[in-house]
Amino acid sequence: MEHNQVHIRAEFFIKEGKMEEYKNLVQDMSRAVEANEPDTLGYHFYLNKDETKCIVHETYANSEAVLAHNNSVASQTILPKIFSVSKISRIEVYGNPSEELQKVLKSFGSQTYNLFTGFSR
């Protein structure tokens, strides 16, 4: 793991009867992020078997990339629609986020785990 990289794991519960709308919205979100946010290195959505819960794994080059994502057109226009059909239940942040990013993350009630040791190949 790069020292500057920030990894986020977010857990969503999808409202009953809203799965198809949720899927369409996250596909739109994923396409927009891929096309417009080059420092978003990974952006993956995983559904449980019952399709009632989604885990999102996000990898960013650095804290600035997370802040850019938070302020992006996709986050400002599509994310509110995602929140209308689902509820975020947990956000975990891994890495060493900047002070500015920590302030933003606090507003989401996230839990941060600072990098202690390890490596990536």
Residue ranges of domains in the chain = 6-113
Taking the domain 6-113, which CATH number applies?
Answer: 3.30.70.100
54 neighbors 47 (Cβ within 8 angstroms): yes
- Decide if pLDDT at 4 tops 60: yes
pLDDT of residue 119: 84
If you average pLDDT over every residue of the chain, what do you get?
95
Query: Residue 49: pLDDT band by 50, 70, 90 thresholds?
Result: very high
pLDDT exceeds 70 at position 1: no
* CB burial of residue 12 (10 Å; 0-12, 13-18, 19+): buried
**Can you give the pLDDT at residue 2?**
56
Q: pLDDT (tens digit, 9 = 90+) per residue, 68-89?
A: 999 999 999 999 999 999 999 9
At residue 48, the pLDDT reads 98
Residue type, 112: T
Q: What is the model's pLDDT at position 121?
A: 83
- Residue 24, C-beta contacts closer than 8 angstroms, at least 6 positions apart: none
pLDDT category, 15, cuts 50, 70, 90?
very high
